[in-house]
Every structure is written in C-alpha cells, then in structure tokens.
Amino acid sequence: MPLHIHDTLRREKRLFEPRDPNRVTLYVCGPTVYDYAHIGNARPPVVFDVLARLLRRQYGADKVLYARNVTDVDDKINQKAAREGVPIGEVTARYEAAYLADMALLNVSPPDLAPHVTDYIPAIVDQIQAIIDAGCAYAAEGHVLFDVSAYPSYGALSGRNLDDMIAGARVEVAPYKKNPHDFVLWKPSKPDEPAWPSPWGEGRPGWHIECSAMIEQTLGLPIDIHGGGVDLAFPHHENEIAQGVCAHGCAHAENAHDHYARYWMHNGFLTVDAEKMSKSIGNVLLLHDLVQSMPGEVVRWALLSAHYRQPLDWNQGLLEQSRKNLDRLYGVLRDADAALADFDPATLDEAELELAENALDPVLDALEDDLNTPGAIAQLFGLANALRDLLNDGEADINDVAMARWSLKEAAGLLGVLSLTPDAWFEGGDPALKAEVEALLEQRAAARAAKDWPEADRIRDRLNALNVVVMDGPDGATWRVKG
C-alpha cells in the first residue's frame, strides 16, 4: 500500500504524491531555543523522524530533503538573556546544544537542514517586500502588517472564516491594524533588542515570516509536507500559507494554498497525568531531565505508542509499559544473537534476503497508513514472535533465524528503536556496575557449583540490592538492571 497521509487542510487521508520524487521536501517547525524542551516538544521531532525514515526508504536517502528550523530570534529569548545579563547568542547556543543532545538520545536522526532565523534575515526582508509589492501587506508605525483582507483563502487550513473570528475576538486590537486579524511581518526593535536594517527601519521579523521565508529559501515552494503540533495550525501555519502564497502573487489563484505546501500534518497534544502541561500546575516535564533517568528509547517508544494525531497522556504507567515492551523485544534479540554467534551472514543468498525484506511488509503497511505507529508496533511484535518461535524450535534452519532477526532489526530501525545491543540495553551501560556484577556472579557460580544454595541466594540478594536481576541459563547466568 502506497503512503497515505491525513492532510489537515483537506481533512482527509490522501495518497502521498511528491511534486518531484527525486526531491521530496519536508519541513517541521523546530524549537525556539530559550529554554530546555519539554516532553510535548519532543513529539513532533520523533513523529516526523519516523516519517523521514519512511520517506528515505521509499524514495532514497539522498532524495529526501528534511528541514527543521531553529528559531533564535524571539522575545522570550530576549527576556532570558536580559535576566541572565548575557548576550542573546549565549542563550540560544546553550539551549540549541542541549536540544540536539537530547534529540540524539531519543535516536532522532538530524534533519538535512537546520536553518536559523538569524542567518536568513535578508530572505525574510525579501519575502516581506514581495508581499508588499503584491499588495498584501502595508507598513504602519514602523511595523509591516499582513493584510488578511487581501487573501481570500485565509482560514482554509484551520477551517475558520474572518467573520467568525471577528465575532469571537477577545483581544485588544493594535491601533495601526487595518483589520483585527492582520499580523506582524516586521516590527521595530527597542534599543536593547536585536535589530537588523530593513526598508521599514531597524527591527526584527514577526513570528510567522521566518518559516515561510526559510522554506522558500532552503526548500523552494511549494514543499511537499509541512508538519508541526496542532496548536500551530492556527495562527502560525495559517499565516505561513498566507505569506508564502501572497509573496508569489497567487493570492487569488484557485486552490491558492497549494502554492505553499501540498500536505499538512499535525500531531496531537500531550497531557501529563491527564492534565495539560502548564507552568501554573507545575507539571512541565523537561525532556532534558527525563533522558537522565531512563533510556531515550523508552521515551521514544512512549511517544510512538499512540497514533500521532491522537492525544497522548504521559504518565508512569505509560513509561513502565514502554520499558517492558522494549525488554520483550530486546530479550528475543539477545537470544537470537546467542543462537547466531557462529553464523556467517554471507551464507544468506539473494532469495533469502528478499524473503527477509518481504517480512517487513506488514510494518511498512502500517506506517504507510498515515504513520500508524501503534499498528507498526503490533507488527513488530509479530516479527519478534516469529523469531522467538524459530528459536524455540530445535529443528529450525539457522538461516531462517538469521533472516527473522534481520527483519526485526530492520523494522525496528524504521521506528528508530532497538538501536542498542541487547547487552547494552539490559546492563544499562554502566561499566563500574558491570564489573561489580560480574565479580559477584563468579562467586555465585562457584557457590552454585558446590550446591551451596544459601550462599548463592545471599549473593542474589546482594545483586538485588544493586537493582540487578540474575537469570540462570544453561550456559551460565545473564543479568539485567531492573526497570
């Protein structure tokens, strides 16, 4: 089944057809680097990382161009820098570095492009000028404002019309706006704020223009897929469309919005213990903290355990279950690796490799159905169970085991999980602990050989105190840290 994507704008699942299969373009709104990312911020990069993996598999790694911007101009950044008394660049560099490090722990592949707003000011100024020249924006009191009345399709993405919004408006309107929903493209900076020269005076870009300008500059319009969180659909993405379309004089074109992006994908919100994350409730969970206390794959698995458009509740149960799911898969992998210790992969022939490849189909089918990651996970268990059956079958052909193991790893790679060795997963990656545990296991092996069960159990208790579970097997004991 070819890839289908639920398009927010058309509100239906559509067959994905790139504009150019040799150059598939994907843009996702990235972080504003003024603080550590919270767990909700991690959902889009993980979800769209899976999409990027899928696209690369289908169109070729070098045919996909994935851009995720870094917003390094923002009032919150200015406030943070002012409060700390440091230059703005110090704040943005610090949090961008933390963001990238945390993303790496989640096994998120770096996007092909990570444009920074500060590197694209000329492109932004050019696009604003083009919008003015098209008659869709006006300068007023040092600001440049987009004139929503000049773009008839305004509201197509979020399903609103201007009349309804005016009726429901409860925000005070700036006096220089012609229409309450006109929004800022460029705004003047105070002396202590970052500023760049422009035809309208020293200032800085508004919130929405950065994305449309960087998209045009780096990917070219229209792009294939634009992604982000649902909350960005309005006003951010709505405004991006208006800017991108109008900068190209397409304000009155039929299906004008198609001149900006061909498919829109929005991930659902994340709650914490069934409540919205908010600073007033005090339940904001920082990704940076989470990845200190648990493997990144657990976080990643949890984020992928629900369909991306569904809401996801972040809670202890979800994390425990994610951990257990991964334990199960890594357990099969560990046993398979033991069975394949002396196996030479070169003995697999073409036909066998093709069979192993075909085994991925159920997983691909799920992902191609609007990125159904829970479905893909179910199929991953199918592959793991098939591998387990082979391992339990004394008669099984070792080549079949190797093929099944390959399929499982490959499928997991599409989701970006099972990237560690089973030992690294179970042993937790702490060399000091590993040395201590192995010393104790040697003593215990001696005690067991002498059938000194009380001593063996005393050692098990000591290991237990180290948060370690011992598993006695026919070839000696293996161990794992408890979840």
Partner RNA sequence: GGCCUGAUGGCGGAGCGGUUACGCAGCGGAUUGCAAAUCCGUGUAGCCCGGUUCGACUCCGGGUCAGGCCUCCA
Q: Which of residues 313-342 bind RNA (CB under 7 A)?
A: 313, 317-318, 320-321, 324-325, 328, 331-332, 335
Question: Minimum CB separation from RNA for residue 367, in Å?
Answer: 11
Note whether 311 binds RNA by CB under 7 A.
Answer: yes
- Which residue bears the tokens 């992604």? 227
Q: 């200015």: which residue's tokens?
A: 78
Q: Which of 139, 306, 398, 466 binds RNA (CB under 7 A)?
A: 306
In the stretch 381-400, what mask flags binding to RNA with x, by CB under 7 A? xx--x--x---x--------
Nearer to RNA, 7 or 224 (CB): 7
Contact flags string 400-439 toward RNA, x per CB under 7 A: ----------------------------------------
Task: Assess 305 for contact with RNA (CB under 7 A).
Answer: yes
Q: Could you say which residues in the range 90-149 bind RNA, by CB under 7 A?
A: none
Task: Check binding of 59 to RNA (CB under 7 A).
Answer: no
CB nearer RNA, residue 159 or residue 199? 159
Rounded least distance, CB 21 to RNA, Å: 26
Least gap, CB of 88 to RNA (angstroms): 15
Give the range of 90-98, 308-316, 342-350, 428-436 binding RNA by CB under 7 A: 308-316
Residue 3 in contact with RNA, rule: CB under 7 A: no
One-letter amino acid identity for 398?
Answer: I
276 scored as a contact of RNA (CB under 7 A):
yes
Minimum separation from the CB atom of position 344 to RNA (A): 26
When binding is defined by CB under 7 A, the residue of 309, 409, 434, 462 that contacts RNA is 309
Residues 193-252 that bind RNA (CB under 7 A): 206-207, 228-235
Q: Which is nearer to RNA, 306 or 339 (CB)?
A: 306
The reply on whether position 11 binds RNA by CB under 7 A is yes
190 binds RNA (CB under 7 A): no
Q: What is the CA radius of gyration of the chain?
A: 27
